[in-house]
């Protein structure tokens, strides 16, 4: 089978280099170009010795023709890099936030910039295969979801779709430090992050609007109200989200057995999202493209509680990007993503 040619824009961040790791063993993809302006001119294997099998130079811009481009740029810069590629007919998987939201006005509100190509927002597809697989297959731009939204939406989608949960939802999410990116800041400095847990984004985290957008689409516009509180914990990888909501009156008369049936049916044919019998831990997904989901009803309050976990750099970023690419080009959805979690 002829391989497609792929390029990565900004390979030097955590998501970009994780993507290179996954693509270097993909049976249907040849990685032909990687960019990173701060490291332009260096060999990829010199910058990242674990990628010694990839004999590529890091360049300032993509070189040569590619069938698919992955952008791991920051918001705004990503859109600016992607638009010329889209006009040339290159299919794109964007790992920034630049095409996730359908309303251009939300970029000024949440990301502090005016979107450079608002006309493309409605044709871009939110890249959560469990919800949008058929649309992803035909898309020119796939907007890879954020790591937090992936864990939260997958935890709540079956309940919202089934109409068993009240509108007011509370989400507590905890992420490893790699979710903050590779650029060193004071909060991610070892001495600050080690032996420490902190909440942040309490005034409104940028991932909140995509969570609400996707859950609203499963119910009724404006129905869902989400209180989202993210935390950073002293580990490298992983996200664990715990979601709380009240059961709607008259629903779930069959108790947890009925709840489990709703969740099991929703994810019955999925490759990577699994309903599990015990509360999942971040170690259970480390290095894999899995998202594990555990729904229950509180014995004390009757509230619905759903725990989900994933690796923020795989299912929360690069792995999901590869999964989306597989769907776009008609490859087996699991191609390049078969690795089981690392343990311990």
Residues assigned a catalytic role: 147
Per residue, the 3-state secondary structure of the chain, as one string, reads CCCEEEEEECCCCHHHHHHHHHHCCCCCEEEEEEECHHHCCCEHHHHCHHHCCCCCEEECCCCCCCCEEEECCCCCHHHHHHHHHHHCCCEEEECCCCCCCCCCHHHHHHCCCCCCCHHHCCCCEECCHHHHHHHHHCCCEEECCCHHHHHHHHHHHHHHHHCCEEEEEEEEEEECHHHHCCCCCHHHCHHHHCCCCEECCCCCCCCHHHHHHHHHHHCCCCCCEEEEEEEECCCCCCEEEEEEEEECCCCCCCHHHHHHHHHHHHCCCCCCEEECCCCCCHHHCCCCCCEEEEEEECCCCCCEEEEEEECCCHHHHHHHHHHHHHHHCCCCCCCCCCCCCCCC
């Amino acid at each position: 089978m002829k391989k497609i040619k792929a390029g990565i824009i900004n390979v030097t961040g955590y998501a970009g280099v994780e993507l290179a790791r996954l693509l270097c063993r993909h049976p249907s993809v040849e990685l032909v170009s990687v960019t990173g302006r701060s490291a332009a001119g260096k060999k990829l294997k010199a910058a990242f010795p674990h990628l010694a099998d990839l004999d590529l130079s890091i360049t300032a811009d993509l070189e040569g023709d590619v069938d698919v481009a992955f952008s791991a740029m920051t918001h705004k810069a990503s859109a600016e890099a992607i638009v010329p590629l889209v006009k040339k007919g290159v299919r794109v998987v964007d790992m920034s936030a630049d095409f996730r939201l359908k309303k251009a006005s939300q970029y000024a509100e949440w990301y502090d910039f005016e979107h450079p190509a608002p006309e493309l927002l409605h044709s871009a597809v939110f890249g959560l295969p469990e919800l949008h697989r058929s649309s992803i297959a035909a898309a020119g731009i796939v907007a890879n979801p954020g790591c937090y939204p992936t864990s939260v939406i997958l935890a709540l989608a079956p309940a919202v779709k089934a109409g068993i949960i009240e509108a007011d939802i509370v989400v507590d999410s905890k992420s490893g430090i790699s979710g903050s990116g590779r650029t060193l800041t004071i909060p991610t400095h070892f001495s600050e992050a080690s032996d420490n847990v902190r909440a942040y984004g309490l005034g409104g985290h940028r991932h909140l609007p995509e969570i609400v957008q996707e859950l609203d689409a499963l119910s009724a516009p404006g129905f869902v109200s989400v209180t989202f509180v993210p935390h950073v914990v002293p580990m490298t990888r992983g996200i664990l989200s715990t979601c709380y909501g009240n059961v709607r009156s008259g629903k779930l008369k069959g108790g947890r057995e009925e709840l489990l049936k709703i969740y099991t049916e929703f994810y019955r044919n999925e490759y990577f999202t699994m309903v599990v019998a015990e509360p999942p831990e971040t170690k259970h997904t480390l290095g894999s493209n899995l998202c594990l989901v555990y729904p229950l009803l509180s014995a004390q309050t009757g509230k619905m509680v759903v725990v989900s976990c994933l690796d923020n750099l795989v299912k929360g970023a690069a792995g999901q990007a590869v999964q989306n690419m597989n769907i776009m080009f008609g490859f087996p959805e699991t191609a390049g993503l078969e690795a089981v979690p690392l343990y311990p």
